Structure 1
Amino acid sequence: MIGTFLQRPVVVATVGATVVMGLGGALTKLGPWYEQLRKPSWQPPGWVFPTVWTSIAALTVWSVSHGWPLLSAAGLSGTAIALFAVNGVLNVAWSGLFFSLQRPDWSLIEVVPLWASVLSLVVLMASVSPFSALLLLPYLLWVGIAAVLNRAIVRLNQPFGAEARPAV
């Protein structure tokens, strides 16, 4: 049963993307803390974020579904699973650090390995399918934009955490 499930890359990729997006969304708390942050004038409007993330999830599923037979034939399916798993954890962790823990400074550090994990996926997919790699480029670009936005928010609002609390 599980073996049959894993042979259906579109189903596995869809479940994986849905879990990552769901967990990341659950950790994204847009409350008073976030609303009070100073943000750069060039930050995209709020509706852009879920629209872009939904598109990225769909493109990722397409990339995996298209590239999976080629990854398997090249003996790279285990590598692909590991890289996508690491990427999913890093993606969710970024939301947890920035929004749930209210630590944009920590998420700025974490976004570097997140971006690198997306780049590693692009490189892996390019080794078997340039088309599958191309489908992941918007994800790489968006994480890059998020990193620059994250840096701007840190610069406009630091310090965060214990150092931001008044001395007693």
Structure 2
Amino acid sequence: MILGLYEAHLPVSNKNRSIEFYSKLGLELAWQDEDTAFFWIEKEKSWLGLWAGEEYKMHYHPSVRHVAFRVSFEKLKESITWLKSIGIEPVPFGRRSSSEPFIRPNQGNASVYFNDPDGNSLELMCYVPVPEGMKTITEKLSFEDWEKMIEKER
């Protein structure tokens, strides 16, 4: 029945500033009206709605102000350089002090985080195949530590 995610929404304070920001990420503006803009994430498959209004003042919580964009593992490795090249600073996730990409072996994914101009949490994320013996590791691992562990598994 369910084929994938069609849409997600975020509150923004300034629609035009947000259009500029999300365009820098390479998303295509699908349409807009007076206080709303929609960007294709995958054309004709999924989009992101940006809604201008006072809701952007709502206290951040990932259940209401977070979107993760799917990328390849190779692109995630380049994500910090790419984000900085378009004027966006990555941010640490949770209690981590580093903003570098990291791997969650127990979830089988890797991520890097950054914020939009209104403090909405954005994430570049990819699937990571995890050897069976490493699927119980709950620690968030740097790419360097991950590669060392994978080498030991081989």
Give TM-score, length-normalised by structure 1: 0.27
The structure in which a higher percent of residues are helix is 1
Whichever of the two has the greater Rg, that structure is 1
- TM-score, normalised by the number of residues in structure 2: 0.29
* Higher RCO (Cα < 8 Å, 6 or more apart): 1
